[in-house]
């Protein structure tokens, strides 16, 4: 008899398991359909976004677009009109995600699941990663955005990362789960980490776009007179264009980006300019240059360093990075100019002096550049050298450096 009941119970258990599997499969299929349906709608607000900072004219706008999703960075109500650091895409995305959470809870509350918070969380993560994040990445890598759009996308993603905490709390509240139970560090959505990676991708795209624009201006170094008979005091053509562009770039970034991101933009741009100045000396189009050309570029670099120092402090970065500066991003170009203008350039071969004064310079680059540094009859090493023994000594030291670099190589 016990054997009969055992078989009966096994049969019932098998049928119940099959029944549950059917319910779970149906639930999954319906959730996937719901997920794709909402997902397709989310692409609309991304495509229509102007990627301009959102302007809120009254407190109700602020409540609907900021407070409703806990996007505020201060408990103090701002003055109006209020310019948000994000574009309209952010509150539109938050409304779509909130609607998705509610729809998921409404559906699952009538399904087979009893503890459906975990299911809601699973599909919420899936929606944020596979739909919202993928759509953002498509925009970033689509090749149709400019510098200001890339900057705004990076700022938007930073806000959406914060919104992930609101989404999780909202899901818990609708599922009847105590909020304190989901406030543990390990309870964060995977989407928050994925969005951080996408923000890095947006910054990379932004820096590439900035560098491309800077390359247009740095191409003007081709117009420099590398064997000039006099020193340009007002700056070469390219440096005025570069500083004007940097001023516009940093002003826009200061309004949109947090300080850490602002530092990345400024330091990335200045480092690229430094590399470009060194590359100008290495260019095949420059066969030779004299001391006047070096001193002209030294004046350009001084203008750039002054701008870097001024912007680092006026933007508040000096308080955030107490031991940092923008000037250090220009170190390779500065050390190269210092070496070329040094009274004893051969000291570059002294390991102690090199580590102290020329640590950013590459041996091979220095060798190639120094080979192009030639005497000019009308230059500093020419007409003045007969009257100034210092210049004669500097020329001898430079010749010695060239020889030792050749031997070293």
pLDDT value at residue 21: 46
Distance CA 270, CA 28 (A): 51
Distance CA 47, CA 136 (A): 10
pLDDT value at residue 335: 97
Would you give per-residue pLDDT tens digits along the chain (409 residues)?
Answer: 444 334 433 443 344 344 434 444 545 555 555 555 555 555 666 677 888 999 999 999 999 999 999 998 888 888 989 999 999 999 998 998 898 888 878 877 775 455 778 888 888 898 899 888 988 998 898 878 899 999 999 999 999 999 999 999 998 888 888 877 766 656 688 999 999 999 999 999 999 999 999 999 999 888 889 998 888 777 788 999 999 999 999 999 998 888 888 999 999 999 999 999 999 999 999 999 999 999 999 999 999 999 999 999 998 888 888 777 899 999 999 999 999 999 899 999 999 999 999 999 999 999 999 999 985 544 444 444 444 555 677 788 888 888 888 877 6
- Complete DSSP assignment for 343-409: S-GGGGGSHHHHHHH-TT--HHHHHHHHHHB---TTSTTTTTTTT-HHHHHHHHHHHHHHHHHHHH-
- pTM beyond 0.85: no
Smallest CA-to-CA distance from 132 within 116, 149, 108, 156 is with 156
Burial track 170-192 (b if 16+ CB lie within 10 A, e otherwise): bbbebbebeeeebeeeeeebebb
Contacts 24+ apart (CB under 8 A), 322-331: 324/263, 326/266, 326/267, 326/270, 329/266, 329/267, 329/270, 329/271, 329/274, 330/270, 330/271, 330/273, 330/274, 330/301, 330/304, 330/305, 331/274, 331/360
Q: Which residue has the tokens 């505020």?
A: 72
pLDDT value at residue 135: 87
Could you tell me the two tokens for 309?
Answer: 């120092």
Could you tell me the two tokens for 169?
Answer: 């709390």
Distance CA 307, CA 330 (A): 12
């Amino acid at each position: 008899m016990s054997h009969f009941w055992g078989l009966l119970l096994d049969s019932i258990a098998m049928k119940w398991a099959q029944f549950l599997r059917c319910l779970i499969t149906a639930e999954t299929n319906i959730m996937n359909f719901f997920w794709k349906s909402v997902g397709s709608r989310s692409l609309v607000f991304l495509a229509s976004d102007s990627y301009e900072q959102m302007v809120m004219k009254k407190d109700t706008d602020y409540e609907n677009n900021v407070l409703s999703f806990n996007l505020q960075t201060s408990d103090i109500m701002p003055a109006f009109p209020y310019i948000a650091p994000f574009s309209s895409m952010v509150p539109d995305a938050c409304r779509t995600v909130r609607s998705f959470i509610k729809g998921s809870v409404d559906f699952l509350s009538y399904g087979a699941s009893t503890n459906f918070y975990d299911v809601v969380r699973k599909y919420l993560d899936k929606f944020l990663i596979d739909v919202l994040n993928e759509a953002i990445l498509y925009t970033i890598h689509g090749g149709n955005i400019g510098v200001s759009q890339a900057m705004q996308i990076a700022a938007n993603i930073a806000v959406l990362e914060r919104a992930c905490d609101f989404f999780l709390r909202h899901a818990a509240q609708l599922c009847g789960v105590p909020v304190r139970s989901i406030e543990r560090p390990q309870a964060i959505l995977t989407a928050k980490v994925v969005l951080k990676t996408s923000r890095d991708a947006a910054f990379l795209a932004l820096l590439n776009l900035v560098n491309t624009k800077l390359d247009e201006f740095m191409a003007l170094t081709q117009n420099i007179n590398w064997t000039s008979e006099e020193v340009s005091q007002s700056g070469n053509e390219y440096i005025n264009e570069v500083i004007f562009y940097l001023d516009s770039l940093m002003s826009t970034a200061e309004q949109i980006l947090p300080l850490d991101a602002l530092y990345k933009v400024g330091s990335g741009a200045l480092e690229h300019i430094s590399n470009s100045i060194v590359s100008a000396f290495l260019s095949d189009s420059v066969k030779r240059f004299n001391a006047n050309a070096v001193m002209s570029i030294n004046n350009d670099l001084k203008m750039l360093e002054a701008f870097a120092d001024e912007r680092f402090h006026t933007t508040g970065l000096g308080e955030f990075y107490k031991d940092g500066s923008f000037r250090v991003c220009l170190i390779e170009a500065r050390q190269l100019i210092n070496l070329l203008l040094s009274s004893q350039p051969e000291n570059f071969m002294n390991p102690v002096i090199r580590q102290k004064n020329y640590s950013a310079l590459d041996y091979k680059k220095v060798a190639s550049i120094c080979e192009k540094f030639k005497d000019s009859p009308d230059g500093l090493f020419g007409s003045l050298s007969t009257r100034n023994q210092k210049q004669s000594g500097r020329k001898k030291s430079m010749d010695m450096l060239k020889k030792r670099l050749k031997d070293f190589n």
